[in-house]
A = this chain, B = another copy of it.
Amino acid sequence: MTLATPLDAHNSHPVDTERRPHPPRKTPRQTRSKHLVEAILEAAARVFDQHGFERGTTNRIAELAGVSVGSLYQYFPNKKALVTALHARHMQEVGQLIGQDLRDGATQPLAASIDHLVFSLLQIHHQNARLQRVLHMEMPFYRPDPVGEPLASTPAQDLMAVLQAHRAELATPDLDQAAAMVLHMGEALVHAAVLNPPPGLGLPALAEGISQALQGYLLRPRVDAGARG
């Protein structure tokens, strides 16, 4: 069954928000600055994690970072720039970790790779759960900068490679779409598991469920007339 109506989301633009990402005001080259920026971001992560975006004040962040507000504003033009930077940092972490995982397990069965993928995502997200909420749900206005240094390999590319190795088992020949779907769904399911865990279900059960759902999506024979009729 497919959707007849286009279902275009017509009204979900955060109005108060200009769309262009906020790059750090000055690229820190000196190591001192680099450390400062690191400290600020770390503090921002902690503060947003604890209080959310709106109630996480720049003063608190500066204080926790051990710098003055003025210094904070020297490196980040405004509050949202902090989120943008955190977003970028998070994306990089995710990319590195799951890319590594996938490349490491290139030769093992697909099920094992998917298990690893889910486990890695959970690991990254289970800490700073609320920060994830801020990053992904409150402030989803980060688009990975296409101009910056292109990453050597994206998670999608790494996953594609894995799928290539198992293309015979897959239910669909469109590996591109399959990889995108798996990543998108994986993230969504992991976020939900971490941020809104349903009362009865433990995290291990959720992890296994997620893995099975993703495998099901990839591997299940699309049409099995005998079984359905």
> Contacts of A181 on B, CB cut-off 8 Å?
201, 205-206, 209
CB-based contact B203/A3 at 8 Å? yes
Q: Of B13, B136, B140, B220, which is within 8 A of A215 by CB?
A: B220
Tell me whether A188 is interfacial, beta carbon within 8 Å. Answer: yes
CB-based contact B189/A185 at 8 Å? yes
- Tell me the nearest residue of chain B to A218, going by C-beta: B216
> Contacts of A13 on B, CB cut-off 8 Å?
50-51, 130
> Contacts of A136 on B, CB cut-off 8 Å?
137, 196
Q: Does more than half of chain A's interface fall in helix, strand or loop, or is it mixed?
A: helix
> Contacts of A116 on B, CB cut-off 8 Å?
1
Q: Please give the count of copies of this chain that the complex contains.
A: 4
Tell me whether A49 is interfacial, beta carbon within 8 Å. Answer: yes
- What class of interface size applies to chain A in its complex with B? 35 or more
Tell me whether A145 is interfacial, beta carbon within 8 Å. Answer: no
**Closest CB in chain B relative to A79 CB, distance in Å:** 12
CA distance A195 to B184 in the complex (A): 12
Tell me whether A73 is interfacial, beta carbon within 8 Å. Answer: no
> Contacts of A222 on B, CB cut-off 8 Å?
212
A3-29 contacts to B, CB under 8 A, are 3, 5-9, 11-16
CA distance A11 to B223 in the complex (A): 43
- Tell me the nearest residue of chain B to A227, going by C-beta: B169
7 contacts between A and B (CB under 8 A): A3-B204, A3-B207, A11-B49, A15-B55, A177-B201, A180-B198, A180-B201
Residues of A within 8 A of B (CB): 1-3, 5-9, 11-16, 49-55, 109, 111-112, 115-116, 119, 122-123, 126-130, 133, 136-138, 140, 169, 171, 176-177, 180-181, 183-185, 187-189, 191-198, 200-220, 222-223, 227-228
